[in-house]
Chain A
């Protein structure tokens, strides 16, 4: 074999063996949890909160807007447990406006990259601002700005300041958790458990959240 032939063979073998792609299957076992906060918020200045027993769904079908039943309760109860552990008290709607309003949303069958929180504001199943009791409401306001890719299986949890609604009834977001990433299984209970774990992690890493 001549040297030039040798070189050609080696060069071709090199071309087809260069880059090694990593296995990322294990990375899908846990969701990524991102939390954002309003740095001006004083979280110890609030005492009560409210969260609905239903979970908002952002979906391509307008009729598919709300998640109810045991799985919704599992997620909502995870939020309540964490809020209670942080020193806040749940206040039912019948007892008037709470200091804080929490909203849990699940992205069902839409993938979208968005800059700043709340691209789904005004989406079908999303709590409209009047949900929080204001008479002539404005919109939602997010003091932070991040770029997130919302995929199927992403859930978000936002905390709004009901106590200090502006004169135009804008509701300022004080804290937000985005739990994203695809689910590795189609088993609904497994996915609900993954989301519950992610909700717990969101509160764990937000050490500034306390009464």
Chain B
């Protein structure tokens, strides 16, 4: 997965250097995306989720650079078939099936560099840094064990803007999210996932 992300970053950089012609000017824009995410971090969850979204606002401080703010949300969920869980000292066993769930809400400041992509397309790479709220839940029968908390989050990403007009266009990117959220009871030391955004952007001028 890391190789894929690196490859995408390289491709974005290459696309950016192909066509130096551009008269497309952006002052600021908002983007709203459907987000798909694949968890990487723990054995607690491995299933890709399509329940997610992303909202960002970016303002250009140079023709090739923007800063902004954004947040995302993902609701990861996976059914764990019945099995016996042993207490290490052998004094207790528990047999059950689970629905594991992790909800993440990163809120971050971001910075992006834009390559020369031509008149219609603007590739970019950047990073978001901030805090991530997360809830971790384990449902079994009618019961639930859950915890929540905050952690630091870093989100390097690369993507593309493709405009249909001066005000509107398509947006897509791929990124890697690393957060320090922990849950001792559920043996979660960190939360990592790869995310894929596809959506629209709106140029505010």
- Interface assignment of A71: CB less than 8 Å from any CB of chain B: no
Closest to A6 in B: B202
Binary per-residue interface labels of chain A (157-189) against chain B in the complex, 1 for a CB within 8 Å, 0 otherwise:
000000000000000000000001110000000
Distance of A62 Cα from B51 Cα, bound (Å): 50
- Interface assignment of B139: CB less than 8 Å from any CB of chain A: yes
- Interface assignment of A94: CB less than 8 Å from any CB of chain B: no
With contacts A33-B94, A33-B96 known, is A6 near B51, CB below 8 A?
no
Q: Looking at the assembled complex, report how far the CB atom of B177 sits from the nearest CB atom of chain A, in whole angstroms.
A: 17
Binary per-residue interface labels of chain B (160-183) against chain A in the complex, 1 for a CB within 8 Å, 0 otherwise:
000000000000000000000000
Contact of A3 among B82, B142, B143, B202 (CB under 8 A): B202
Contact-residue bracket for chain A: 35 or more
Total cross-chain contacts (CB, 8 A)? 98
Whether B30 pairs with A33 at a CB distance below 8 angstroms is no
Distance of A117 Cα from B149 Cα, bound (Å): 32
Distance of A30 Cα from B180 Cα, bound (Å): 35
Whether A22 pairs with B139 at a CB distance below 8 angstroms is yes
CB contacts (< 8 Å) of A23 on chain B: these are: 99
Whether A32 pairs with B141 at a CB distance below 8 angstroms is yes
Q: Which of B85-93, B110-118, B186-194 interfaces with chain A?
A: B85-93
Distance of A181 Cα from B95 Cα, bound (Å): 12
Whether B77 pairs with A180 at a CB distance below 8 angstroms is no
CB contacts (< 8 Å) of B105 on chain A: these are: 18
CB contacts (< 8 Å) of B73 on chain A: these are: 14, 18-19
Distance of A26 Cα from B101 Cα, bound (Å): 15
A:2-24 near B, CB below 8 Å: 2-3, 6-7, 10-11, 14, 17-20, 22-24
Binary per-residue interface labels of chain B (35-75) against chain A in the complex, 1 for a CB within 8 Å, 0 otherwise:
00000000000000001010101000000000000010101
Interface of A with B (CB < 8 Å)? 1-3, 6-7, 10-11, 14, 17-20, 22-24, 26-28, 30-37, 39, 144, 146, 149, 151, 180-182, 201, 205-206, 208
13 A–B contacts, CB within 8 A, in A order: A3-B204, A6-B204, A19-B103, A20-B51, A24-B139, A27-B98, A27-B141, A32-B94, A33-B95, A35-B92, A39-B89, A181-B142, A205-B93
3 closest Cβ pairs, A-B complex:
A3-B204, A181-B141, A20-B75
